[in-house]
Structure 1
Amino acid sequence: MKNLATKIPEEPPLRFRGARVLITGGAGFIGSTLAIRLVQHGAHVTILDSLIPEYGGNLFNLQPVSEQVRLHITDVRNQHGLQHLLRDQDFLFNLAGQTSHMDSMTDPQTDLEINCRAQLSLLEVCRAVNNRVRLVYASTRQIYGKPDRLPVDETHPLRPVDVNGINKLAGEFYHLLYSDVYGIPATVLRLTNTYGPRMRIRDARQTFVGVWIRRLLEGQPFDVWGGQQLRDFTWVEDCVDALLLAAVHPETPGKCLNLGGCQPVSLLQLAELLVQCHGSGSFVVREFPADRKKIDIGDFYSDDSAFRRLTGWQPATSLASGLEMTVAYFRKHLQFYV
């Protein structure tokens, strides 16, 4: 079978040349990387982002394409103007969300507004003005909760362990329902631990790997909680390949699919590899904090064979290479991310 994922970077699909694309959360980590790729493919890209400091939007992320994209600084919870933005779009990548698991527990109402109510409102706008827009919704592996078996495939029970997971699960069901009932061609991708340039490193609201990198570059030891937990990781450009494939493949609408990465590693192995990529540094293994232990899912890695079989996607970048490129990026641009 032809590997479509490896063809996208070299030969931009005709489907995106001249296409109108809206990205919610487009100034964030994954959204900005996707925007840069789409501009390279010749798409007309519009970005919606609140730029609320806690949620990851960063104008520096868009610096490579700042003159080629249209940026609307507005919250996805604010439905005014969305009808105008959505009316003529060919594709919608719905990446806006509140990602912090701890924030969802301390401020559950805000998480509900962003990850649940705003998703329903956005779909209502699609239904009203553009029910043919190809829509990809970024969900999370967190909706599975603590796994019964590994690797975790799409048939695994859904048991979120925090408010964020519950609201993201509701967001998934809204997208699938509107695909089934109203014909909106929506696809759900359940992402795992995505990492790479432009990720949030200021704190742990997006991923613990970002905090590790910040501490490393600032010459400070970083904390590894537990250390034996297994995780899989997705290089951000591989993730973008998958998002683009999900948006154009004729058989993805109406489906909910896992996206994984390379072989799983323990957090201790990841820490050692990160120090090796940097060339120096240290870390301290600590007992898992009690408040976070309650919502930790333990070992987790995805079975994404369904998505691979359907689209031909394969991760193209090893964890070691990805970490090297990530550290190099933040070594050069650290001032814009702390």
Structure 2
Amino acid sequence: MTQPAPGDLASAFSGARVIITGGLGFIGSNLARRLAGLGAEVTAIDSLIPEYGGNLFNVDDIAGRIRVNISDVRDMHALRYLVQGGDYLFNLAGQTSHLDSMNDPQTDLEINGTAQLSLLETCRKHAPGIRIVFASTRQIYGKPDYLPVDEKHLLRPVDVNGINKMAGEWYHILYNNVYGLKAAALRLTNTYGPRMRVKDARQTFLGIWIKMVLEGTPIEVWGGEQLRDFTYVDDCVEAMLLAAVTPAMEGQALNIGGDGVISLKDLAEMLVRVAGTGTAAIKPFPAERKRIDIGDYYADDSRLRALTGWTPTVSMEEGLRRTVAYYRENLPRYL
């Protein structure tokens, strides 16, 4: 299958009513920007809980082109009203910190498990025709038995966050299969780019690395030999849009990867080179992180590519260059 031309996505989304949970967060705000450019009527829902990455500055330049609703995904009364009449729902709201999930597992369960089930029930009753794309995670695989990891790999999460995200993903697939509520899931790998959280490592370690190089603080690379793949946020957004409009994606939970594999040591050195500032130092893993580290991981995303025609277009070096440039200009807004 060839990748749809941009006009095809414009045809699908122009005038469509689109809801994004977690819409003021990293991926959600980039998705909102792309959808607004396609002519969609976008409602970005976000709780703006400080620990979870939502930031009004993320949509500052498109504030007049989208609707923002400050509410929590756990508030089913608000969501019942908001999903009615919706054509598409991009379900990105979640607690993303693996360490936080171990320190406060009940809250992680509420957001990543219980709230997801309640949202699907709300859609089943009040928006049965809506098409849903759920942001899942490669974390549900746990420590890989083989590489690259495909969708046949055993699901074996190593932390509470992974278990709850796995449940959230499978609620979506179940509601697709049993109730005909059109839903697909993308198992995201390390997504990066402008508007990600950089003031701490709750969302991604690469965010805190970027903050460090821009502030002149040495990057601490834990281990360094671990292999990872990365998806630039614009490529991730494109995959989500294609997943939403591709009928063959209904009921699928598929991997998304990037344009290659890189060690954390090489990644840190590339970031320092691109930024032209900072240094990197190899450090042993902190004990609390080592317990939930998965070692090497990179995805086999051939099924996603075959079904949707998606392919990444932004290289790691170019993505870092764009990201560093964004934070060099806007870093105070994210600290």
- TM-score by length of structure 2 reads 0.99
Structure-to-structure mapping, 1:12-161, within 5 angstroms? 12-161=9-158
Q: C-alpha separation between the residues in 1 aligned to 2:46 and 2:221?
A: 32
Q: 1:163 aligns with which of 155, 160, 163?
A: 160
- TM-score by length of structure 1 reads 0.98
Q: C-alpha separation between the residues in 2 aligned to 1:82 and 1:295?
A: 34
Instruction: Please tell me whether residue 176 in structure 1 is matched to residue 173 in structure 2.
Output: yes
Q: Gaps (5+ residues) in structure 2?
A: none
Q: Gaps (5+ residues) in structure 1?
A: none
- Which residue of structure 2 aligns with residue 3 of structure 1? 3
Partner SS, residue 76 of structure 2: coil
Q: 2:327 aligns with which of 310, 326, 330?
A: 330
Whether contact under 8 Å (2:214, 2:277) holds in the other structure is no
- Which residue of structure 2 aligns with residue 199 of structure 1? 196
Partner SS, residue 282 of structure 2: strand
Q: C-alpha separation between the residues in 1 aligned to 2:152 and 2:68?
A: 38
Q: C-alpha separation between the residues in 2 aligned to 1:82 and 1:241?
A: 25
User: How much has 1:83 moved relative to structure 2?
Assistant: 1.4
Q: C-alpha separation between the residues in 2 aligned to 1:300 and 1:131?
A: 36
| Number of aligned residue pairs | 335
- Which residue of structure 1 aligns with residue 273 of structure 2? 276
1:212-239 Cα distance to aligned partner (Å, 9 max, x none): 0001111111100000000000000000
Residue identity matched to 2:2: K
- Which residue of structure 2 aligns with residue 254 of structure 1? 251
1:10-49 Cα distance to aligned partner (Å, 9 max, x none): 7742010000000000000000000000000000000110
Partner SS, residue 69 of structure 2: strand
Q: What's the RMSD between the two structures over aligned residues?
A: 0.9
1:164-223 Cα distance to aligned partner (Å, 9 max, x none): 000000001100110111100000100000000000001000000000000111111110
User: How much has 1:2 moved relative to structure 2?
Assistant: 2.6
1:70-109 Cα distance to aligned partner (Å, 9 max, x none): 1110110111121111110000000000000000000000
Task: Among all aligned residue pairs of Structure 1 and Structure 2, give the percentage whose two residues are the same amino acid.
Answer: 62
User: How much has 1:3 moved relative to structure 2?
Assistant: 2.7
Partner SS, residue 247 of structure 2: coil
Q: C-alpha separation between the residues in 2 aligned to 1:219 and 1:83?
A: 47
Q: C-alpha separation between the residues in 2 aligned to 1:210 and 1:299?
A: 19
